[in-house]
Chain A
Amino acid sequence: MRVTNNMLINNMISNIGKNMSRMETYQKRLATGKKISVPSDDPIVAARALKLRTDVSQIEQYKRNVDDALSWLEITESALNNIGEILQRIRELAVQASNSTMTDDDTEKTAEEVAQLKDQLILISNSTYAGRYIFSGFKTDTKLINDDGTFAITVEDTESIIYEVGVSDSININVLGGQLFNNGGEAVTGNKAYLIDIMDQFVAALKSGDKSAISNSEGDSIIDKIDNQMNNLLAIRASVGARYNRLELTADRLDTNRLNFTKLMSENEDVDQAENIMLLKNEENIYRASLAGGSRIIQTSLVDFLR
């Protein structure tokens, strides 16, 4: 084939251009750390990149939800703990009151303490998490129990606050006020909370000196009622503990998933820099060689040898 000067030059320009564009590819990868910058670089990698980004972002959101749910449950747990202590103390007082002969002064002091405990219980029933009443069901903006021991709101059994902690995986994080303070029932506006009522009964029995109301063998005494409430509380605490456990497991799983998905994401779209640098160096050499070769082609023609 006849080769002409312009052919040589055109070919050289086109080849150097191709070298440059390959170098540009590797350099872009070096700079961005990504295999692709637009979907057409590799549509399959792009599609997976989009999916994985969504997955990771969802996992991160679920992780935040789990953390918030754990905080909520921690507040609940500590409130339940306090209620347990109050019930324990009341039971002690009831046992004391039923066993020993009490002076008026003692009765007065005991009644005083029960009243204090009652106030404390009401305070606990109105515990908040980030400004929201945790036992008020859906009416998180309203107190559960008034200072006089009656329910300020109605809390129905259905008012479970539910956090999403996974795709179609959710968890109920609140303890309903009625279940805790109204012996497992619903809270109804205006009605006196059962727990408070027991305390009021206890004070009344103290004041009237009715020891049989405080303790008897028929199972309807104040102590029996307190025992029942302690069992009720235990059941609720067990349930909260179980949920807390489950959330911790979920958090672990989310952490592992996040790690896995981030790794997948990296494998999918991140550049193996060692390999990339090698390839870039290689391209650089080729580029230099083509420039050196080109300079020779351009310089020389027969004219140079005619003197």
Chain B
Amino acid sequence: MRSSFFGFNVAVTGLYTAQRNLDVINNNISNVNTPGYSRQQTVQQALRPMNLYDGTGMIGTGVEVTAVKRVRDEYLDTMYWSENVTFGEWDTKRTLLSELEATFNEPSNSGFTQIMDEFFSSLQELSKDPSSEAVRALVKERGVTLAKYFNDMATRFEELQVDINDRIETTVERINSIGVQIQQLNKQIYTVELDGSTANELRDQRTLLIDELSKLINIEVNEVAVGKLPSGRDDVRMTITISGKAFIDHFNLSKLALVQRENKLNEEDVPNLFDIKWEDGNSLKITGGVLRGYLDVRDGNSGLNGSPVYKGIPDYIRKLNQFVQTFAMAFNEGYIDLDNDGVIDPVKNPAEDGKGHVDGYGIGSAADLGIRFFTMLGTENKSISSSDFIGGASDPAAISARYSNITAKNFAVSSDILDNINLIATSDTKDQVGNINNLRELMKLRNNDQMFVEGAPEDFMKSIVTTLGVSSQQAVRISANQEVIVKQVENRRLSESGVSLDEEVANMVKHQQAYSAAAQMINTMAEIYDILINRVGV
């Protein structure tokens, strides 16, 4: 015996199911361009059939939608995150190094080589006319240009360091803000899913946030079952760890904090840079992501003093400092560390004390030995005199030690020369205006390939520029490769979870027709009942 209106009920479940399906398709189509959205699918199944007890077996009772699930391959998410962290790191380095390259401005007609060329050209001109005030003034100005070039470079590097420091601050704030949002989403997802359903949209939002987080810092994401819920499902909790310590543990968040350094990491650093720590004061090891890129470029000093093993800004400043110290010492004193043992020791190696600016005389009444061409900026950014600079040091070891006070930032032409261009020491004998024996010794320094381990002054600077070029090229290549990999994983995710309009529209037609058919079924049933009720036995 069947119930009278059984047919209606079956048709109605068909209508409802078709509608539900269309709802999901509608939602998919609406979200086709929503970032991070994963397409949803209904899970529909036939209703429990009725037993007929008359030997005919069972009869179907219609259809129902049991769940709406999102289509997502979480393995691809994990893969995306692990590739994105490398991309974040190298893409950052690429950007920063290209800024460094712009600072060096090589090869060009206004970079270091040009300035060095012009300085030595002015010496050459002076050698041809050592008595000319005009040429002496030219030498002074070219010397000032050379010094200013290094001041300018050092200042720009420091500005970049401060700039990166600011960016680190912003990035850490962003990480914390993402942390707070994920923490909130964890609560919502956990609550929603207590009854066994899946929080599709919320999970999509959380994945999108983790996508962003994975670019910023190295993270490891886990969802682990810690027990069973009353409903029988696993009690799944989510953790995000950074280098082994939990950043987010279910509902708990440990934020990152910025601490101003009391002591500089590198002596070349600007003061008060930030260290990144956990809010509870524990130290944090950052091994990847945008933050790592920032830290490497801001602090990298080839691993000296515990700095990152990367050639970052301090490394370039240190090399510029080394250049101006060595160059100034060779030019002023004629000291060249020939055996590279770090000290000037003319007793052991007399050739280490060659002729320099101090060994010559200028012209005019004030001309005397012992004038340094280059010194450094003192208070109020005024360049100091030779005697103040050398501070009474008399033996080579003590004098050469004074040069460690010079940095690229404070490199300057001495006040003696600035005040009196006639003190430029061209002559090796007093009162001989045409004597250029000392100047010739100075000019020879340009091609002195023993001044630096790398060779002559220009070779040293060339090696800095080449090193930077190679580093930058490496960053460009790695970030380009990594970008391809990230894009590929992203494509695989889109392939899995993205909305295909064709597919949705095809399904739409399918369910639309199922709906029409079910409606038609109701018509048919209505006709049957019309016959039964209105015509039979009347």
- Enumerate chain A interface residues (CB-CB to B < 8 A): 1-7, 10-11, 14, 36, 38-44, 46-47, 49-51, 53-54, 57-58, 61, 64-65, 68-69, 130, 132, 136-141, 159, 161-164, 167-168, 170, 269, 301-303, 306
Contact = CB atoms under 8 A, between A and B. Distances in A.
Nearest to B104: A39
Contacts of B509: 306
B491 A136 contact: no
Interface string B500-519: 11100110010000000000
Contact of B490 (A10, A46, A140, A306): A10
Interface residues of B, number: 60
B56 interface: no
Given A10-B490, A164-B124, A306-B505, A50 B462 contact: yes
A154 to B, nearest CB: 11
B436 interface: yes
A301 to B, nearest CB: 5
Interface in B441-474: 443-444, 447, 458, 461-462, 465-466, 468-473
B494 A7 contact: yes
B427 A39 contact: no
Contacts of A130: 129
Contacts of B125: 64
B440 interface: yes
Interface string B476-503: 1000000000010011001110111110
Contacts of B494: 4, 6-7, 10
Nearest to A163: B128
B427 A138 contact: yes
A64 B126 CA distance: 12
A2 B466 contact: no
13 contacts: A2-B495, A4-B499, A5-B499, A40-B471, A50-B462, A54-B113, A130-B129, A138-B432, A139-B432, A140-B434, A168-B444, A170-B440, A302-B506
Given A38-B472, A65-B124, A140-B131, A7 B434 contact: no
Nearest to B509: A306
Q: Is chain B's interface secondary structure helix, strand, loop, or mixed overall?
A: helix
B101 interface: yes
B165 interface: no
A7 B491 CA distance: 6
Contact of B106 (A1, A3, A50): A50
Nearest to B456: A54
Given A43-B466, A64-B124, 12 more contacts: A4-B494, A14-B487, A38-B101, A38-B472, A39-B107, A40-B475, A43-B470, A50-B113, A68-B128, A137-B432, A139-B432, A306-B505
B182 to A, nearest CB: 24
Contacts of A47: 462, 465-466, 469
A3 B469 contact: no
A163 B128 CA distance: 7
A1 B472 CA distance: 37
Contacts of A61: 117, 120-121, 124
Contact of A39 (B469, B495, B499, B506): B469
A164 B501 contact: no
Nearest to B505: A302
B11 to A, nearest CB: 26
B447 A167 contact: yes
B210 to A, nearest CB: 19
